[in-house]
Structure 1
Amino acid sequence: MNTSTLERVRADARPASSDVPTNDRAGARRAVAAAAIGNVLEWYDFAVYGFLATIIAHKFFPAKDDFTSMLATFAVFGAGFVMRPLGGIVLGRFADMRGRKAALLVTMFMMAGSTVAIGLVPTYASIGIAAPLLVMSARLLQGFSAGGEWGGATAFIVEWAPDGKRGLFGSFQQSSVALGMLLGSGVSALCSTALGPDAMDSWGWRVPFLLGCLLGPVGMYMRRNIAEAPTFSDAVVKSESLSVPAGLRLAFRAFGFAILWNVSYYIMLAYMPTFFQKFVGLDHASALWSNTAGLLVLVVAVPLVGKLSDRIGRKPLLLASCIAFIVLPYILLSWVLASRHIGVILTAQIVFAASIALFSGPGPAAIAEMFPTRSRSTWMSIGYSLAAVLFGGFAPFVSTMLIGITHSPLSPTAYLALSSVVSVAFVLTMRETAHDDLR
């Protein structure tokens, strides 16, 4: 790192107000709150596409049948994840070299711009093949931004955590992701309910995307007024970056660790609204409201589980989540398909959300603790983003394809169970780091 960059990182580590010590808890709370609020807005933008998939399918990917149209839609949903490893490499390296704050400002700008772009693209009926190509381009930019956002925000929040509270503080990263998805689901559901099916299909679907032009500046403002974590600033001066072989080994460990995390998230919370519409018979608004209820439970539960992990350790909770996703999905979705009752659907969504919280609570701290501070953002972003693209982003696509091949709506539960088994193997080999100092 050159002298000017080092001076800039040190300057950003100073508090915004000179009478507030950089390392005090009030400063930590302000920094984490600003990062988390920006994270909420980032993931609102990223998630809206999935919640409006059934409308996007026939607006931009018309085909001879609904199945083919939905496959194309979810392929583009997954394509956004293809860019996440590249975003993780480029923006993760940028965060490790220039500071977390600078990287978080860049990701906020890119995500807001690409989301608004999707809301403005004319449909296939208006401009033909250019429409899906433009949507694909915007989605790729969203994925690039998300690849840098996840690692940068996770590193920033965990590095600001006081001793003994990394699980709690780290959980705010994942809770803010869930809150962003909750906001996206809630806004989409509200638009569907308030506007009605015809208006929503005609123009109302654009509203959740165009809100990105209002939310983006809020996130930018919040992030401009935060300082770098003292842990990172110290590491810039005292530590060397990981070698490539060492970084790859740790990234591979993070990759395996994050497989279930991603698959469970994107099947249970991004794909379920479509599943409930296609196979249970819910209307668009009801499917989104049930998903919103599950996300609300997740937002509340994640910090509680994160705090618990500071006391009893990360591994027991991570393993409990893996076991839950081996056992519960087949049972609960069978119950849902048999009853088709909204109360049963809500119960299933809440149980799934609680099971995800068992992983998402300790997950950010556990994955961050695998890496030394000086190289954390780069290698953590690469490992997590590869799991996201290979297993998470295409989870709705894989689920749709499995159902098409097997003719069974329950077939995605096998994908969940297999992902759980793989992640169990990685979690079992982890060292418990809840009570260690951050490297």
Structure 2
Amino acid sequence: MSYASLATDQRSDRTRTLLGGAIGHFIEWYDWSIYGFLAGIFAAQMFPASDPTASLMASFLAFALGFLGRPIGAFVLSPLADKYGRRTLLSATIILTGIGSLAIALCPTYAQIGVAAPILITAARLLQGFSAGGEYQIAASFLNEHGATERRALDGSPQQISIGLAVLAATGVASLTTKIFSPELLTSWGWRVPFVIGGLLSLYGLYLRFGIAETPAFRKQEAAQSRVSIASIITSITSFPREVFIVFVIQLGGFQYYLWMIFLPTYANLVGGLDRASGFTGSIFASIAYCIGVPLFAHLSDRFGRRPFLIGSAAAFLLFSYPLLKMLAVPGLSFGTFTFVAVIGALFVALNNGVIGTVFAELFPTRVRASGIGIPYAVSAAIFGGTAPVVATWLHQAGGPLYVALYIMLICAIAVATHVFVTPET
């Protein structure tokens, strides 16, 4: 084999490894984003109520309940990945995600099967949450264990970029769906099409993951015959209390992501009357900004360290959340104002997300990496991430953008203090 041919094969393998590691996170976030974007459309079909706001909150409650599956998935799937390898479990998570997508797409309405409709939707969300409870940390471990030491954050960034690309794809699909279908068709069955697309994407992701190799770090552990029992893996996590706490606090930032990258168009429609199509279009620009910011900040963190970016993101939200949210809460909110707010929020999120996957992976040794990341990550995401739309809607109803901003500021104050006094430079 020639050197040119060998180099081409190596590049091809590396590309497939990066895509295979990131594709599951892409599909997971596409599904969760589509649900967040379209909840206001199908809420009355699945969660009927006399008050439209009550229907919306019920649909977002199902969104939040889906996060209850995350800790369960983390407890079950993460130790399995530490015992049997990253590759096998990555294939399993993507299958479960696809099943959840198709279940939502095919679910009959409340008018057809009564209370079983919201129960089925919630069950599908729980299944997706269970899958997501294993996906993130296993993929983060996989990508970082394949990555070169000097560019570990950059090599791990496709997982975080995939979030932005997923939201971008979901935004585009949601925008096209609302434009292609009439309001009547959109409400009756058009909203289901994006979820079918999510199921088909899972099949492609499964194909990619069948062709990827196990990580060198895990193969080395296997060769040393150091595979341990699942019970001992879970028990050994107690040896890393500081690291577990840091992961939990970092994932408090998940509230920012769900609010600024997913819920923001719905929030702008609720508080400023911005039409959904304009909200989706503005979110496209925000997703593009995020996708540019993540690899840039990841590359810079490989040179200057991770902590400045963690502190910078939390401090930015601490200072600017209220002014930005206040800009949205005006009658006749313009497309330009919404887009500006969405882009700034996306860049603040990118400051954090460009480095967190690498920080997580570098905190733990190979034998407990997936479990050490996954369990506190999933618990934090369930408490603060999944509840973001419901909490933001309720807080705005209670006290306007000030109450929403105060909640964000409290979370960010905790994060800043942790990163300044507790989080090490990895």
User: TM-score, normalised on structure 1?
Assistant: 0.90
Match of 1:298 among 290, 293, 308: 290
Secondary structure at 2:425's aligned position in 1?
coil
Deviation at 1:335, TM superposition (A): 2.3
Where does residue 66 of structure 1 map in the other structure? 52
- The match for 2:132 is 146
Q: Does the residue aligned with 2:329 lie in a helix, a strand or coil?
A: helix
Aligned with residue 394 of structure 2, among 401, 408, 420: 401
Name the residue aligned to 1:362. Answer: 355
Q: Confirm whether residue 254 of structure 1 aligns to residue 240 of structure 2.
A: no
Of residues 303-312 and 191-200 in structure 1, the stretch that sits farther from structure 2 once superposed is: 191-200
Q: What CA distance in whole angstroms lies between the structure 2 residues aligned with 1:415 and 1:255?
A: 17
Count of residues in Structure 1 that have an aligned counterpart in Structure 2: 412
How many angstroms does 1:375 deviate by? Answer: 0.8
Deviations 1:258-292 (A, max 9, x none): 212x0100111121111111111122222112122
Aligned counterpart, 1:117: 103
Could you tell me whether the CA contact under 8 Å between 1:118 and 1:138 is conserved in 2? Answer: yes
State whether residues 298 and 353 of structure 1, in contact with CA within 8 Å, keep that contact through their aligned partners in structure 2: yes
Aligned to 1:432: 425
Following superposition, the deviation at residue 423 of structure 1 comes to 1.2
Distance in 1 (CA, whole Å) between partners of 2:241 and 2:398 is 36
Deviation at 1:195, TM superposition (A): 1.6
| Cα pair 1:46 1:115 within 8 Å, conserved | no
Question: 1 CA distance for matches of 2:378 and 2:48?
Answer: 30
1:170 corresponds to which residue? 156
Could you tell me how far 1:323 is from its partner in structure 2? 0.7
Q: Quick one: distance in 2 between partners of 1:86 and 1:344?
A: 40
* Structure 1 unmatched ranges of 5 or more: 1-18, 434-439
Contact 1:46 1:111 (C-alpha < 8 Å) held by counterparts: no
User: Using a 3 Å threshold, how does the CA distance of structure 1 residues 268 and 42 change in structure 2: closer, same or farther?
Assistant: same
Give structure 2 stretches of 5+ with no counterpart. Answer: none
2:409 matched to 1:423? no
Query: CA–CA distance in 1 between the matches of 2:164 and 2:142?
Result: 18
Q: What residue in structure 2 maps to residue 101 of structure 1? A: 87
Alpha-carbon distance in 2 for matches of 1:96, 1:253: 20
Q: How does 1:155-234 map to 2 (within 5 A)?
A: 155-234=141-220
Counterpart secondary structure, 1:52: helix
Partner of 2:339, secondary structure, is helix
Equivalent residue number for residue 385 of structure 2: 392
Task: Check the 8 A contact 1:192/1:285 in 2, yes or no.
Answer: yes
Residue pair 2:268, 2:328 contacting (<8 A) in 1 also: no
**Deviations for 1:27-50, whole angstroms, at most 9, x for unmatched residues?**
444311222233322321232111
Q: 2: distance between equivalents of 1:276 and 1:257?
A: 26
Structure 1 residues 158-194: Cα deviation after superposition (integer angstroms, max 9, x where no partner): 1111121111112211111221222112111111112
Letter of the structure 2 residue corresponding to residue 349 of structure 1: A
Contact in 1 for aligned 2:282/2:338 (Cα 8 Å): yes
- Whether the aligned pair in 1 keeps the contact of 2:236 and 2:368 (CA below 8 Å) is no
Distance 1:92 1:280 in 2: 42
Contact 2:90 2:138 in 1 (8 A): yes
Amino acid corresponding to residue 321 of structure 2 in structure 1: P
Deviation digits for residues 64-120 of structure 1 (CA, Å, limit 9, x no counterpart): 212222221111101111110111111111111111111110011000111111011
Instruction: Tell me the amino acid that sits aligned with residue 324 of structure 1.
Output: A
Q: What is the DSSP-based 3-state SS (H/G/I as helix, E as strand, rest coil) of the residue aligned with 1:43?
A: helix
Query: Which residue in 2 is equivalent to 1:33?
Result: 19
1:334 paired residue among 326, 333, 342: 326
Tell whether the 8 Å contact from 1:256 to 1:423 is kept in structure 2 after alignment.
yes
- The aligned counterpart of 1:381 is 374
The offset of 1:247, in angstroms, is: 4.4
* Greater Cα shift, 149-158 or 284-293: 284-293
Name the structure 2 match of 1:314: 306
2:121 and 2:375 mapped to 1: Cα distance? Answer: 25
C-alpha contact (below 8 Å) 2:314/2:413 kept by paired residues: yes
Give the superposed CA RMSD. 1.9
Instruction: Look up the match of 1:279.
Output: 271
Per-residue displacement from partner, 1:124-154 (whole Å, max 9, x unpaired)?
1111101000001001000000110111111
Query: Could you tell me which residue of structure 2 aligns to residue 436 of structure 1?
Result: none
What is residue 10 of structure 1 aligned with on the other side? none
- Select 1:245's aligned residue among 238, 251, 254: 238
Cross-structure match for 2:403: 411
Matched, 1:347 2:333: no
CA distance in 1, matches of 2:94, 2:219: 22
* 1:356-384 Cα distance to aligned partner (Å, 9 max, x none): 00000011101111111111111201011
Q: Deviations over 1:11-62 (max 9, x none)?
A: xxxxxxxx969x9676444311222233322321232111111013211111
Cα distance in 2 between the residues matched to 1:278 and 1:206? 23
Equivalents in 1 of 2:364, 2:237: separation in Å? 13
Bigger drift between 113-122 and 294-303 goes to 294-303
The 2-side partners of 1:166 and 1:191 are apart by 38
Give the Å deviation of 1:405. 2.1
